[in-house]
Amino acid sequence: MVLSATALLTTNLGPIPLLGRGKVRDLYAVDDALLLVATDRISAFDHVLATGIPGKGKILTQISLFWFNLLSDIVPNHLISARVEDYPAALRPFADQLEGRSMLVKRAEMFAIECVARGYVAGSGWKDYRATGAICGIPLPAGLADGSQLPEPIFTPATKSKDGSHDENISFDGAAQIAGQADASELRRLTLALYTKAARHARERGLILADTKFEFGKSGDGIILADEVLTPDSSRFWLAEAWKPGGPQPSFDKQFVRDYLESIHWDKRAPAPGLPDDVVERTQRKYLEAFRRLTGTGILI
């Protein structure tokens, strides 16, 4: 697969009904299915930046496809096909926008919770722990540091804020109020099973999966795994050999972008700024390295 030197920031599929644009993905209605297209947009601090990362959408899609296949023995997923030649004929004229970065998927009634698994203390979990000694109401041992491994992985669900801009941690009881007790229990079981298998695979590849979030829905197949899976946009991957609790860890995500935005003292209000070439290139390399490590294959640029 070849990554373009230019970023695809917006898709245009002519008469195909556009249902919405997220921070990264464009969503289209295709008969009784949906088409997810991962653009090269990148967000930080809840804003989409003016500059994209060339090929990012392809990298994320290929990582998700890898995980959908590896984890299919645990839970069914929403994937119908990621091959443009298998898509309905109306989509084929747009192959240049879809190749490598799109998935035709089943429709599902999505659960209104983010299913988060944590094996390490980091991010909002670290903030919760410092304040309360717990994460999402789950008591944890005293003396943990930023980046410490937890005694065992935990399920820490979250909901979108009212304006949809960021996630808010909730307790399991809060998740049960939203999804129902039986479904919340099953979502917890599936989340921890997926995390355990994925973390084991990542560790074999020299990476630590610190935490991740999954999205699930209900279809005719029951509960299915949906959206993206275990990409650097939804997960914290750390370099295992460099892991040292006590502060931020070397990671495979958009930290270069966040660091740059902090360095220019952006007020984190719209409009979001663009990125210099060196930040774009370093960020792209991180995404590519994560892909190569996780899948054992490469992408030609």
Q: What is the pLDDT of residues 110-142, one digit of tens each?
A: 999 999 999 999 988 999 999 999 999 999 999
pLDDT at 161: 64
Quote the mean pLDDT of the chain: 93
Q: What is the pLDDT of residues 48-93, one digit of tens each?
A: 999 999 999 999 999 999 999 999 999 999 999 999 999 999 999 9
**Residue ranges of domains in the chain, CATH in brackets:** 110-242 (3.30.470.20)
For residue 301, name the pLDDT band (cuts at 50, 70, 90).
very low
pLDDT at 258: 87
**Helix 56-70 and helix 181-204: axis angle, to 10°?**
110
CA distance 104 to 87: 7
Q: What is the pLDDT of residues 188-243, one digit of tens each?
A: 999 999 999 999 999 999 999 999 999 999 998 899 999 999 999 999 999 999 99
Q: What are the structure tokens assigned to 114, written together? A: 């983010």
Q: What are the structure tokens assigned to 180, written together? A: 């129902």
Q: Name the β-bridge partners of 135.
A: 138
CA distance 77 to 204: 24
CB–CB of 116/213 below 8 Å? yes
Scanning 135-239, the segments in alpha helix (DSSP H) are: 172-179, 181-204
Q: What is the pLDDT of residues 259-269, one digit of tens each?
A: 899 999 999 99
Q: Which residues neighbour 230 within 8 Å (Cβ) at sequence distance 6 or greater?
A: 63, 64, 67, 198, 209, 212, 294
Q: What is the pLDDT of residues 27-43, one digit of tens each?
A: 999 999 999 999 999 99
pLDDT of 1 higher than 80: no
CA distance 284 to 279: 8
CA distance 215 to 225: 6
List, as one string, the DSSP characters of 161-191: -TTSSSEEE--HHHHHHHH-HHHHHHHHHHH
